[in-house]
Structure 1
Amino acid sequence: MENELDIRKAQRGDHEAFTRLFRQLEAQLYRVAKTILVQDEDCADALQETTLKVYKGLTSLKQPKFFKTWVIRILINECNQLLRMRERTVTVAEVPEETDVSYVHFDNSGAVDLQSCINRLDESLRLAIVLFYYEDLSIKQIAGVLGISEGAVRARLHRARRLLFEQIQPVREEGLANEQ
């Protein structure tokens, strides 16, 4: 496998192999970071720290086949670290007004922006959906990345699907009613 060869080369200090590996994962890592952090500046910070930690710790990776899940786990830890740091420094004046996410307004076009529906989910549910559907990780891999059981991953996916259905169903019904 070509990726495993690049991983082995990168472990031996080949900077070009390391760069190739990260270029292949760049879009996926950004999506995961955006799922957790939302703001582009924070995503860039998390990706930079992740790149540095992966570069420094690459020799400790025993099995190259787990490279992607290992990198995603490091990224999630970095994102959570950024959130914890931000949590400590936010002042009351900086806190935005609460928005009621239980109320979802769609126009009558019948179009549903699935990504905005996903973004309304709780972070743990949103992350499970992104890792499963966008990053094509297995339930077992997601469990390893998130440090939870496979049953918990299945439960999060089930709950997220149900909540997405509840957001989308009224719009579909409204669209059908308008067509008649």
Structure 2
Amino acid sequence: MNISEKAQLAKQGDKEAFVCLIRAVERNLFIVARSIVKNEADCADAMQETIAKAFSNIHTLKEPAYFKTWIIRILINECNRMIRKKKRVHPVPYDMRNTTYTSEYEQIELFEVIDELDEQLQTIVTLYYIEDLSVKEIAKVLEVSEGTVKSRLYRARQKLSELALGEGEAKYGSS
């Protein structure tokens, strides 16, 4: 049974289907929350609130096929609410980010460079490159146009290139 079918069952009140959906997206939620709130305690709180809100409002889900983007949107709103409430940001311990990179050092360097971006671009990069969401899905999640997503991705790529080149020149000296 796919996510769309489980979401339809959950929308009709099937609690087991909802639990299966949450298990299917749990890692995605963690990665997105972690990239926004920057510490484990807030990440856990945001996820818990998101799951509770999603459970209470599953009946409002218009298109079951978009359950993942729907719940990520709830999570992003919850994370932003927490940030506004606390008005503080913590650095992320890189070893807590689970990815499939071949080397721990490559993973750390990647996230160090991503953390140099402003928060808006960090979110876009995380959703596109780490969560593997399409431009269309990101536009839905962030409630912006696809053109806005594309332009932010372009700006993020430019900034990442500048940062990577700058670090390369600083480490190895320019020729």
Specify the TM-score bucket, using the shorter chain as the normaliser. 0.7 to 0.9
Q: Which residue of structure 2 aligns with residue 34 of structure 1?
A: 34
Fraction of identical pairs, as percent = 44
- Structure 2 length-normalised TM: 0.82
How big is the shift at 1:174? 6.0
Q: Which moved further from structure 2: 160-169 or 51-60?
A: 160-169
Q: Which residue of structure 2 aligns with residue 73 of structure 1?
A: 73
How big is the shift at 1:171? 3.7
- Structure 1 length-normalised TM: 0.80
Runs of 4+ in 1 over 3 A off after TM superposition: 170-178
The residue correspondences of 1:54-69 to structure 2 (distance < 5 A) are 54-69=54-69
Which residues of structure 2 form unaligned runs of 5+?
Answer: 91-104
Larger radius of gyration: 1
Residue among 99, 104, 123 paired with 1:127: 123
How big is the shift at 1:173? 4.7
Q: How many pairs are equivalent?
A: 160
Which residues of structure 1 form unaligned runs of 5+?
Answer: 97-109
State the AA in 2 paired with 1:29: L
Matched-pair contact (CA < 8 Å) for 2:47–2:75: yes
Residue among 142, 151, 158 paired with 2:138: 142
Q: Which residue of structure 1 aligns with residue 100 of structure 2?
A: none
How big is the shift at 1:83? 0.8
RMSD of equivalent CA atoms: 2.5
State the AA in 1 paired with 2:51: T
1:8-59 deviations in whole A, cap 9, x for unaligned?
2212222221111111111111111111110111111100000001001101
The whole-number CA distance in structure 2 between the counterparts of 1:84 and 1:176 is 40
